[in-house]
Structure 1
Amino acid sequence: WPEDGEMNVGEITVKLTTTQVFADYTIRRLQLIKKGKPSQDLIHFHFTAWPDKDIPNTPWGLVDFEQRVASFDKHKVTSYTPTKPIVVHCSAGVGRTGIFIALRNVMRQAEETLHMDFFTTVQTLSHARLNMIQTSNQYMFLHRAAQVAMLCIGTTVTSKDIESRIEKLGVRTSSGQTKMEEEFKSICSVCDDKEEEWISEDNSYTVYENSQTINNKQKNRDESILPKEACRARLRWENGDIGDYINAVLVPSFIKQNHHILTQLPLPSTVTDFWRLVTQYKVRIIVAFEVNMNTRDKTIAEYLPSSENSSAVSPMFKVTTEPTVKSMYLKQQKLIVSMDKALNKISNAASEDHHVIHLTSTTTDLDKKAILSIIQHIRSLQRGQDERILYMCRNGAEYSGLLCVLSLLLDR
């Protein structure tokens, strides 16, 4: 397919009309033109988050992808007739192809018969094409994807229906919990760490291996909130004297995988690691919560200059700040982060200064007005969707996670 415009493939001209890029997949609308024949419209769904010779770290992206394909199938979009066959392919036409077709088939079974027969589904596909599911891990991943897909049924909502959706979620069930509480409990259950361990292709490490080594344990503020191996941010240091660990995870934006960062406020022993994270991942905006807790929580380090037009120095970095701008919910500082020149030569790092905007939330009472105002301000600072944002709070999850997820939902 052409990345832009059109291209000729034999007697057929393939014309790209629109492209929509998401974190895990891309949707293209193509037009096939052959001389003397009516043109044919085609929708091309391209899943881009499947690692080569492996399975995805989580099934959520594939489930979202399958549901997007199914939505086109159900709603008979314009001239894209759903009664025509859907062509599914990967490099070999098995494995990834088999998992996707099997997932679609078992989900149709669930809709029509209220049960799913994985064994018969895979057996039928394998009779039609050998090795459609190639490994036991692929077979287990199929089950996990179906579990997530079942959980997601009925949870997608349009912006115009959000009020009625929230009202329904507030209804208490026979369990004594609201539907929203039950839904959240289901999400926690399907994300259980033990469930993820057994689908790993590489059995040489556990989900939290590096988070729990003797050297790295002291870099975690809360032992119950650790970065998983598949998601953690890895720090670079060419001479190997400093480790690659920091309690931080990479999360997707609306259009990119592993784009934004969630982390804890720096410990006294991790200030240098924090600035390594900011500079190496080219973070442009930092959003910080609970910074003022450092007066009563001595595990929260002083990582910023103590006053305007001054600098803070760590063993590797010098951080300079410009005058602070204050608003109702935020304190904004422009920072210049410079690496020590001697260490700069050792590490072969880029020599230029790193410019970053640091936003400190002046409140933890995040009502609707406050949190939407903060998100709106962050967006006003962004020069494009490619810019990386780092969200952090005391434990790297509570406030930073809420703001990151809400921003992603609003993008969606």
Structure 2
Amino acid sequence: MRLFVKKTATFQNDTLCTSDTQVDNGKQQKTDNGAVVSVDDAFSVPVTILEKYIDGHNRKKEYIASEDPVDTNNVEDISAFWKMVWEEKVEKVVNLSEAVIGKHQEGEYVHYWPDPDSFKKFGKFQVTSTSEEEYADYTKRVFKITKGSKERTVHQFHYTSWPEKGVPDDVTSVVDFREKVLNAPSKLNGPTIVQCRKGLGPIGTYIALDILTKKGESEGTLDIPGCVKNLRQKRQNLIQTPEQYRYLHKTLAHSLAARSITVSGDKFPKYVKDARKSELKQQFEQLQQSFKPDSEEVQKKEGEENKRRLHFSVIPDASDYVNAKFIDGLRVKRRYLMSQTPLPETVGEFLTLVIEENISCIVSFEVEKELKKTDGIYFPGCDMDALKKGDFEVTCTNEQDTNGSFMTRSLTVKSGVLQQNTDGKPIPHYQFLKWDMQKNVPTSAAEFLSFMKFVEETANKQNRGPILIHCFDGASQSGLFVAVSLAIQQMSEEHEVSIVSAVKKVKAARTMSIPNQAQFDFCHDCVLEYLKASKADRDTRKK
């Protein structure tokens, strides 16, 4: 029986050409333009799976560009996709669809994998989900696919934060995501499936990033327009919009900025010892070149872009913007909110931010116990009369000094206008004090980690929104806190770390973060201290 499969398209001389494809039932055929078509053996129905071989850097047919599997007849059997995975010896699937798979005018997108710790049968194939790990921007799944007595492992990397026709908010997360894909084990040397809902813009952006990064690293040259043109000749609209084209340039800048070396915990001490001679200095210089301070005009523009729009204005004639920037944690989106210490005239906006975002705790890097006159005072002295600012009323209780390292307080922020946005519970406030102002680093890695652990544990217990971190410029001290937090999270959960990746992520949000070599080295010192403390803790438990 001959089946008609959805028309494939090629982009030739700025015109869209289509060709019908005829397929024998139960066999995989290739169209004249190279598309791969799989048809389920069990059903004589059209299966709408559109694929396209794409050559990689110095490798033929490195990718199969595909739209998400769609069953046009609403039959849940999607064995055609898994048949293709098996026959093409695919071990890695990169899915760039948003988290919720929804409706499409030509059919319904199918959840083509089983739930965690379960299995489904798709025609001749049994697919078992052996693990699923959720991160801030992506989910990693591992499947065991069985056909008869034969068995293979397939890794799916599902980037869940890519709008269908837009681009992700975070540039560095896609770069890190690509590194995870490359580092996944592979034995069969088959192509990587790269898919999204319509098989277009996100796929082209990701594949171009991978090809051009490899080319840039190996040859030191890039031809971005040429690469994009080649992709679009293979499949129309593989980069759909000017926004996606600009995003490709940004991701390449970060991908090639400084090599993101990932080091396992057991090898990290030796790596740091060897790298201190020259490599750490070189890495920091490369980062600074990539994120070097722009002209005053550009910095002003960046400052405007960093300003977060407030939904409410509770101070007469006050601005409805505040200079703050969200950064994702390893697994939690918008985990951190970096902000400038408020000025006297922006206290209202700062307090509005605290309530609107349901802040879990506030971290201050104003290292003097008493705020300077140039700072906006947003809380009163402990057990003193409430501070009133416009519609806000703030009280402070339970102030304690923790061995001179940091201060702890409980703040209660009330507002008649924003009453519906607060549960009335005290907000923990932590003020770090042990900062070497001359070197612009904390005086002790151990004390800094102790402070960070205290903050993270409190934030986890609060079950609220992000951790709000502020310093005088919103970057030079707050950025170190976030970078070290990201590095420690990665080492704790994955037993490996890339300090460069953590620093890139923070500097992409605030270019003035990690402003000197001392802070970059301090990030490494903190991971060393964490590993030392972890070993001591394990040794104690054994006794």
Q: Shorter-chain TM-score: what band?
A: 0.7 to 0.9
Change (3 A) 1:376 1:240: closer
CA distance in 2 between counterparts of 1:385 and 1:125 reads: 48
Q: CA deviation at 1:359?
A: 0.8
Contact 1:284–1:355 (8 Å) recurs in 2: no
How do 1:300-311 residues align onto structure 2 when only pairs under 5 Å count? 300-308=375-383, 310-311=385-386
Change (3 A) 1:140 1:311: closer
Query: Any idea what the Cα deviations from partners look like across 1:309-355, whole Å, max 9, x if unmatched?
Result: 65322212222222223212111112222213xx34xxx73363143
Q: Which residue in the other structure is 1:237 paired with?
A: 312
Report SS of the residue matched to 2:342.
coil
Contact 1:272–1:315 (8 Å) recurs in 2: yes
How do 1:8-407 residues align onto structure 2 when only pairs under 5 Å count? 8=120, 10-11=122-123, 13-33=126-146, 36=148, 38-72=150-184, 77=185, 80-110=186-216, 112-153=218-259, 155-171=261-277, 179-191=279-291, 227=303, 229=305, 231-237=306-312, 243-290=319-366, 292=368, 297-308=372-383, 310-328=385-403, 329-340=405-416, 343-344=417-418, 349-350=420-421, 352-365=423-436, 366-367=442-443, 368-383=445-460, 387=464, 388-407=466-485
CA distance in 2 between counterparts of 1:354 and 1:155 reads: 43
Q: CA deviation at 1:65?
A: 1.1
Query: Any idea what the Cα deviations from partners look like across 1:234-278, whole Å, max 9, x if unmatched?
Result: 321189975421121111111133331111222111222111111
Contact 1:227–1:248 (8 Å) recurs in 2: no
Q: CA deviation at 1:356?
A: 0.9
Change (3 A) 1:135 1:362: closer
CA distance in 2 between counterparts of 1:171 and 1:191 reads: 23
What fraction of aligned residue pairs are identical, expressed as a percent? 25
Change (3 A) 1:397 1:114: closer
Q: Which residue in the other structure is 2:67 paired with?
A: none
TM-score, normalization by structure 2: 0.60
TM-score, normalization by structure 1: 0.77
In structure 1, stretches of 5+ residues that fail to align are 173-178, 198-205, 210-225
Q: CA deviation at 1:386?
A: 6.2
Q: CA deviation at 1:375?
A: 1.2
Q: CA deviation at 1:48?
A: 2.1
Report SS of the residue matched to 1:381.
helix
Q: Which amino acid aligns with 2:137?
A: D
Report SS of the residue matched to 2:140.
strand
Q: CA deviation at 1:390?
A: 1.0
Q: Which amino acid aligns with 1:183?
A: Q
Q: Which amino acid aligns with 1:15?
A: T
Contact 1:233–1:250 (8 Å) recurs in 2: no
RMSD value over aligned CA atoms?
3.2
CA distance in 1 between counterparts of 2:482 and 2:277 reads: 27
Change (3 A) 1:268 1:139: closer
CA distance in 1 between counterparts of 2:360 and 2:385 reads: 20
Contact 1:49–1:61 (8 Å) recurs in 2: no
Contact 1:262–1:397 (8 Å) recurs in 2: yes
Contact 2:319–2:349 (8 Å) recurs in 1: no
Q: Which amino acid aligns with 1:158?
A: S
Contact 2:161–2:168 (8 Å) recurs in 1: yes
CA distance in 1 between counterparts of 2:291 and 2:280 reads: 17
Q: Which amino acid aligns with 2:171?
A: P
Q: CA deviation at 1:137?
A: 4.2
In structure 2, stretches of 5+ residues that fail to align are 1-112, 437-441, 491-543
Query: After the TM superposition, which of the residue ranges 386-395 and 402-411 deviates more from structure 2?
Result: 386-395
CA distance in 1 between counterparts of 2:171 and 2:431 reads: 34
Q: Which amino acid aligns with 1:21?
A: E
CA distance in 1 between counterparts of 2:126 and 2:461 reads: 33
Report SS of the residue matched to 1:89.
strand
